A and B are shown apart, each in its own frame.
Chain A
Amino acid sequence: MFQSLVNWARVKSPWILHWNTGACNACDIEVLAALTPRFDVERFGVLLQGTPRHADVIVCTGPVTKQVKDRLIKVYNQTPDPKFVVAVGSCACSGGAFRGCYNILGGVDQAIPVDAYIPGCAARPDAIIDGVVKLLAKLQGKAG
């Protein structure tokens, strides 16, 4: 009973943490654009949070540089369960344009488990919203 209440709340209002893991910024501004009036993901209850301890969903952009890897794992561990990771942009999915650069891991899933991949270079806000909504549906399935 209590768990279903928690799940209901989580689906209605997922709090996200935005984390640039070495992106070129384009996907970051698209994530932000998705939060602003034209696209407005807040109508799905999505709210940007500053700290990992308050977040349900980690939105990662970027191919994960070797420098950032340890921090990423740390942030992932600080996020309370259940947590979900969304990789936004081709380079967060697989390394994208940066494949072959010496300082990247190539994809967020090389460091932490990923639940949703949103391709595109840069991923359009529409695509990001679609990804988030699909993730919410998945969450609901889990809750259900």
Chain B
Amino acid sequence: MAEVKIPIGPQHPALEEPELFLLTVDGEQIVDAEMRIGYNHRGMEKSAEFRTFMQTLYLYERICGICSHSHTTCYIQAVEEIAGLEIPPRAKYIRTLIAELERIHSHLLWLGIAGHEIGFDTLFMYSWRDREFVQDILEEITGNRVNYAINTIGGVRRDIPENKIDDYLKALDILEERCGYYTKVAFEEGTLAARLGGVHYLSKEKAIELCACGPFARASGVATDVRFEEPYLAYPEIPFNLITYDSCDIFGRAVVRILETIESIKICRYILKNLPPGEIKLEKVPKKIPEGEAVSRYEAPRGEDIHYVRSNGGEKPYRAKVRAPTMQNLPATMESLKGSYIADAPIAIASIDPCFSCTDRIAVVRDIRSGKESRVRLRDLSKYGKGGRR
């Protein structure tokens, strides 16, 4: 039979964001998968160069609304490293707390989307209802449900109200109970295991070879987590476990995320109970950041986030580069799509928890050997902008 090409996207109910996947199918089976990213490319790295360090912080919050704290923390760590600022311990703890709350909300969100993708809408509604507990805490602490804007250069903007801590602990208790219920749904109820078991298989070797990261890699038995490899913020002082699972399929990814949520709840509880006293930000923060460069790593809910910041000694960054985790996970995703069935494609793509607003970028590769100048001409850019195909 002749091969048929099926486009998925850019507007597609299964994908929240506009992306195009081109699947070549033979019968029901996918033989080749290609993708085209860039629909969500806004040009933020460039516009960061025209903003001050502080403005860039709030711009980068909007790289992705789900892991907004990840991007700002990763960026601010780099900036603070260049400036040689050491933030107060209380600020560190608060940043860590928001980071873990964000992980909980992101993982619950994923669980809901995954449930929706496989037609298990009850799970979608349940997990999104439970997610509101975290949203409430986040809103009370930071003032916003998403895009919390808690970070500022040299610390955090808001303190945690002492009289509310008990309420937060109670909400976390309820959440933990609910996560226990989800674990039961996963292991005992059978629907998830039957639908997701063995789907979109990624072996441990392939995961390492294709540099997968985050829960995607951990579900293939690769123990990778920046919080362990290169502890930042308050993580060195907090006891918690690294979760891995070795079923190498989407079921494993669901299990890893549910168990990680429980771990995160424990971390939040530890932080709320052991919050060090003191200031929440440095008193004096320089407007101009001294010359220098820094790379910062951060374990976002979706995997390893890397920011590179370079300063020329002025008020604005010379370069602020972002490498988001989805970018890293895409090669492995596309590879494992080959050989799966077309009906599994939506959940398979959703299983890495893709976030294309972080990922979308333009890459221009030039031949170095020919010695040509590798400059992007305005004409090329505008051709790209006009929706030119690859």
Residues in chain A within 8 A of chain B (CB atoms): 18-30, 32-33, 36-38, 49-52, 62-63, 65-71, 75, 91, 97-98, 100-104, 121-122, 124
Contacts and interface: CB of A to CB of B under 8 A. Distances in A.
Interface string B272-292: 000000000000000000000
Contacts of B38: 67
Contacts of A69: 387
B43 A103 contact: yes
A80 B381 CA distance: 34
Interface of B: 10-13, 16-18, 38-44, 46-47, 50, 58-59, 62-66, 68, 109, 112, 124-125, 128-129, 131-132, 135, 144-147, 355, 357, 381, 384-387
A36 B111 CA distance: 14
Given A37-B125, A101-B46, A19 B11 contact: yes
A123 B17 CA distance: 18
A102 B382 CA distance: 10
Given A100-B50, A122-B144, 20 more contacts: A19-B11, A22-B41, A22-B42, A23-B40, A24-B357, A25-B355, A26-B147, A28-B65, A33-B128, A36-B125, A67-B385, A67-B387, A69-B387, A71-B11, A97-B59, A101-B43, A101-B44, A102-B46, A103-B41, A122-B145
- Majority SS of interface residues in chain A? mixed
A28 B145 contact: no
Given A65-B40, A75-B11, A122 B18 contact: no
B10 A98 contact: no
17 contacts: A18-B16, A20-B18, A24-B65, A26-B146, A29-B109, A32-B128, A33-B132, A36-B124, A36-B125, A36-B129, A52-B11, A63-B42, A65-B40, A65-B42, A66-B387, A100-B47, A102-B46
The 3 A-B pairs with the shortest beta carbon distances in the complex, nearest first, are: A26-B65, A50-B13, A36-B128
Contacts of A29: 65-66, 109, 146
